[in-house]
Amino acid sequence: MAAQMTDAHRRFLQVLMSRGIMEGSEARKLHRHCCEIHKVYYAHDKLDDFIGTINRQLQPLFMQIRKGMSESDGKAHYALVNLAETEITKMTSDYTENELELFRKTMDLIVLSENGFASSTDILNLADQLKTKKMKKKEAEQVLKVFVEDKWLSEKNGEYTLHTRCIIEMEQYILSNYQDAARKCNICHSLAIQSQVCESCGIGMHLPCVRKYFKAQTEPRCPQCNDFWSCDIP
């Protein structure tokens, strides 16, 4: 029989809703905390079952807690995803039309790039080319800052990529709208934005997956075609 929702599940959901996304270690701590406060049975290896109980209740609401991986360090994350809305319509209540257009164009640059990043210079150059309403560069800088704060983009040294939350939420949208450019990781089979690509057969792998896969190999060879893996192992 399926487990019933308890106050521990409700508390966990409320905290995740307020944050939007949570790293795996934080989610495990929260799981324990919620179970202890509400005196509910706790087992450290049952987080996914615990979340499964919440997801069954969320199903009629077209929402789901999904697990994904950070492309930078390979750590697991959990995000609350709205299944009723597709693509960037999820963001329409929070941003203006020209802000959304800037986001779409930024996503184009990131997904179509070789390394999964777009420079701030390239993004800001798009600001005065927007069809909805042109944006001054100062204004565009502020909008990018908000996208980072809201966990749609991540920024490091003036380079932008998609945040883990964005990848978890928009994986299906990206795979169907960028069919020629978007690829799944050959190891974990989830969307790979920052990846290394085999020069011979063209498969891609997340950097953490590359690191893990080639760890024990003296000569790195592609898992698909067995040719020498010419990229530097991170």
CB 88 within 8 A of CB 169: no
Q: What is the model's pLDDT at position 88?
A: 64
Q: How much is the pTM?
A: 0.86
Q: What is the model's pLDDT at position 210?
A: 93
CA distances from 178 to 33, 156, 181, 197 (A): 41, 24, 5, 17
H or E element at residue 162 = strand 159-162
Nearest-angstrom CA–CA distance, 117 and 130: 20
3-state secondary structure of 22: strand
Angle at 117 between CA 84 and CA 170, to 5 degrees: 5
CATH label, 88-171, candidates 3.40.50.880, 1.10.10.10, 3.40.50.970, 1.10.3720.10: 1.10.10.10
CA distances from 46 to 4, 31, 42, 51, 62 (A): 15, 9, 8, 9, 24
Tell me if the domain spanning 182-233 has CATH number 3.30.40.10.
Answer: yes
CATH 1.10.10.10 location in the chain: 88-171
CB 189 within 8 A of CB 177: no
- Tens of pLDDT along the chain (234 residues)? 567 899 999 999 999 999 989 999 999 999 999 999 999 999 999 999 999 999 999 999 889 999 999 998 899 999 998 887 655 666 777 899 999 999 999 999 999 998 899 999 999 999 888 998 889 999 999 999 999 999 999 999 999 999 999 999 889 889 989 988 898 999 999 999 999 999 999 899 999 999 999 988 889 999 999 999 988 887
CATH 3.30.40.10 location in the chain: 182-233
